[in-house]
Structure 1
Amino acid sequence: MLQPLNLPPHPFKITDENGQLSLFDEIRKRNIILTPEEWVRQHFVQYLINQKHYPKSLLKLEGGHKLHGKQKRSDIICFNSAGDKILLVECKAPSVLIDQKVFDQIARYNIVHKIELLAVTNGLQHFYCRINFGQNSYNFIEELPGYQKS
């Protein structure tokens, strides 16, 4: 049984091969093993596409980057039509508490990306933040802006 999330439901294509669930990822165009974190990532992607109108073609999942010489992966990066990064999303499994450690992780990743809009979610709780690089400050915001407003 897959855990219900605090995100709109979506009719995913889920298959069961010998007890191993996988889900067809519309962005990466392949089946992905369905871990609790992937369940959250896939729901959040559909939320971005269907509720916030982010174009599917401008989303990148699990993109690699180097941080302090180590290879890391960003869960979701959204781009604008000019190719600029406009949103960085960190997804956690529903069982993972969203705490300072999670915010520190996305902040470290953002050293590389330098994106003004950040989101952290475990599928149950979602936090959104706008970074002001000029003033070296940030503000939490109530709701994630839609694609045209970001």
Structure 2
Amino acid sequence: MDAQEFKRALKNIKTPRKVMHAGSLHYLDPIREKYVPATPEEEVRQRILQYLMKVLRVPKQAISVEYLLSKAGIDSKNRADIVVWYYEPNDGYWYALGVIECKAPDVDIMTVDVKEQVFGYADDLLVDYVVVVNGVYSCCWLYDDKEGYKKLLKKLPEYQKMIDKDVEFDDYYKTPERFKFEELEANKYNLINKRSILGEKTNPDHLTFLTNLYDCLILDKNKMPKGKYRCFELVEDYGVRYLKVGNSSGGKYVGYYRSFKVRKNGQEFFMNISIFDYGSESKDHNILTVSSDSKGKNHNSLQYSLKK
């Protein structure tokens, strides 16, 4: 949903009245049923709560606020801003349907840190929907904990449509065209200055090649043919996914990966490839990462230096 449409949608949403409590302005939260300080972030949260209940028709009993993940049996002290649940009558259990992260209006919701935070909650709670809002902009994804990032949605649908996965994808975010070969040299600083993929100290002699390689991976208009290769079978070129991938030293790389569904020795799994700046500001240190999923978690199997 674009900024103007989102602001219009929230314009007529009234937050609970601010009241003096313990010497400062507070809201009486309708879900938690307690007084909470009226911070800019809390105002966004209160507007979204009213939007969920009054516009999207989410039942009050299907909403949790500042949900402690440990309540779901997760070994974590983190709290998710808002969790939307649905009741499954066949087994009598409530399941997490979506997680919503609320930020103050001056916070950029598309940074890696914000995405890492909310997609981490999505991984833990096994939800279908991931939403980030700051009262001005919103971003909503249909998500799968094993397959990772799927597609941006135009907006979060009404509650029953959420359950039925009756959604509209956002055509605005189409895969852009790759640079033509003769355009690469003129655009070789694109991955540093515009997309922040490569480090500023990257050897300039390598930038044209790395730009072409990255676009080959991430701009997935052309697919790798299915079939049997020398040491594996390609089941499907799965395209681009937004993933959080860890390594053996405890580091993690969050961003866009090109994913391939592979079969080998009777087992089927994902292989994911991407390029990242290793995080060194003083020297040329970019890496090509190759990861695979194991028991629902993605792990870097190779971090290949791109210095040479």
**Residues in 2 aligned to 1:129 and 1:136: alpha-carbon distance in whole angstroms:** 10
Unpaired segments ≥5 residues, structure 1: none
Structure 1 match to 2:160 = 148
Aligned residue for 2:121? 109
The TM-score with structure 2 as length reference comes to 0.44
The structure with the larger Rg is: 2
Structure 2 contact 129–142 (Cα < 8 Å) conserved: yes
Q: Counterpart of 1:93?
A: 104
Q: Does residue 128 in structure 1 map to residue 132 in structure 2?
A: no
For residue 97 of structure 1, report the CA deviation from its aligned partner: 0.9
Structure 1 residue 17 displacement after superposition: 4.3
Instruction: Please state how far the C-alpha of 1:30 moved relative to its aligned partner.
Output: 1.5
76, 86, 95: which one pairs with 1:80?
Answer: 86
Alpha-carbon separation, structure 2, partners of 1:97 and 1:105 = 13
Label 1:116 to 1:147 Cα distance change in 2 as closer, same or farther (>3 A): same
Q: CA deviation at 1:9?
A: 2.6
Q: How does 1:34-45 map to 2 (within 5 A)?
A: 34-45=38-49
For the aligned residue pairs, the C-alpha RMSD in angstroms reads 2.2
Q: Deviations over 1:72-120 (max 9, x none)?
A: 0100001112211111101111111112221111111122111011110
Task: Describe the SS at the equivalent of 2:25.
Answer: strand
Moved over 3 A (4+): 132-137
For residue 48 of structure 1, what is the aligned residue in structure 2? Answer: 52
Distance in 2 (alpha carbons) for counterparts of 1:28 and 1:137: 30
* Rounded Cα–Cα distance in structure 2 between residues aligned with 1:101 and 1:144: 22
Q: Deviations over 1:15-59 (max 9, x none)?
A: 134761101111111111111111111100100000000001110
| Deviation of the 1:14 alpha carbon | 1.1
Alpha carbons of structure 1 residues 87 and 70: separation in structure 2 relative to 1, 3 Å: closer
State the Cα distance separating 1:11 from its structure 2 match.
4.8
Larger RCO (alpha carbons 8 Å, 6+ apart): 1
Partners of 1:96 and 1:143 in 2: CA distance = 20
Structure 2: gaps (5+ residues): 1-5, 89-93, 163-308
Letter in 2 for 1:65: L
Matched residue of 1:84: which SS?
strand
Aligned mates of 2:145, 2:121 — CA distance in 1? 15
AA paired with 2:46?
A: Q
The whole-number CA distance in structure 1 between the counterparts of 2:96 and 2:17 is: 29
Alpha-carbon contact 2:41-2:104 (below 8 Å) kept: yes
Aligned residues: 146
CA distance in 2, matches of 1:134, 1:107: 12
In the alignment, the residues of structure 1 paired with residue 22 and residue 95 of structure 2 have an alpha-carbon distance, to the nearest angstrom, of 42
Determine the C-alpha separation between the residues in 1 that align with 2:22 and 2:143: 45
Paired-residue identity, %: 28
Given the alignment of the two structures, is residue 30 of structure 1 paired with residue 42 of structure 2, yes or no? no
Tell me: CA distance 1:79–1:19, structure 2 relative to 1, closer, same or farther (3 Å). same
Aligned twin of 1:139? 151
Q: Residues 30 and 140 of structure 1: is their aligned pair in 2 closer, same or farther, counting only changes over 3 Å? A: same
* Counterpart amino acid of residue 143 in structure 1: K
